[in-house]
């Protein structure tokens, strides 16, 4: 795995995700309890059930779904981009 990249399980708790990425603030929608896992965050950002290779950029990270288990997000590749880039629309591939 390249430096600045993490291959993570979809059921990773948000607190652990923030710890791994060094994110101090709550993720969008997290405070309302809309989701508790990385998979929930991905669903919230994409706005639909993803397919493998769907991706989006949030802050300075790219999130890419790399494995689905039927209707469950199994693995997500998170890559640090260089600079904070804001949010970008979801990009299905």
Which pLDDT score, from 0 to 100, does residue 29 have?
Answer: 87
Q: Is residue 88 part of a domain?
A: no
Provide the number of structural domains found in the chain. 1
pLDDT at 85 over 80: no
Q: What is the CATH number of the domain that holds 59?
A: 3.30.465.10
Q: Is residue 41 part of a domain?
A: yes
Of 77, 35, 31, the residue nearest 53 (C-alpha): 77
Residue pair 66/76 in contact (Cβ under 8 Å)? The answer is yes
pLDDT tens column, 20-45: 999 988 899 888 998 999 999 999 99
Band of pLDDT at residue 91, cut at 50, 70 and 90? low
Residue span of the structural domain in which 51 resides: 5-80
pLDDT at 61 over 60: yes
Domain-embedded: residue 86: no
**Cα–Cα nearest to 80, from 25, 1, 5:** 5
Q: Which two tokens stand for residue 12?
A: 């990773």
């Amino acid at each position: 795995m390249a430096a600045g990249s993490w291959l993570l399980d979809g059921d990773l708790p948000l607190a652990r995700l923030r710890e791994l990425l060094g994110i101090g603030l709550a993720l969008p929608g997290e405070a309302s309890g809309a989701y508790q896992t990385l998979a929930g965050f991905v669903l919230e950002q994409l706005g639909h059930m993803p397919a493998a290779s769907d991706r989006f950029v949030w802050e300075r990270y790219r999130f890419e779904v790399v494995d689905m288990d039927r209707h469950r997000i199994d693995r997500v590749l998170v890559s640090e981009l260089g600079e904070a880039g804001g949010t970008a629309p979801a990009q299905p591939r």
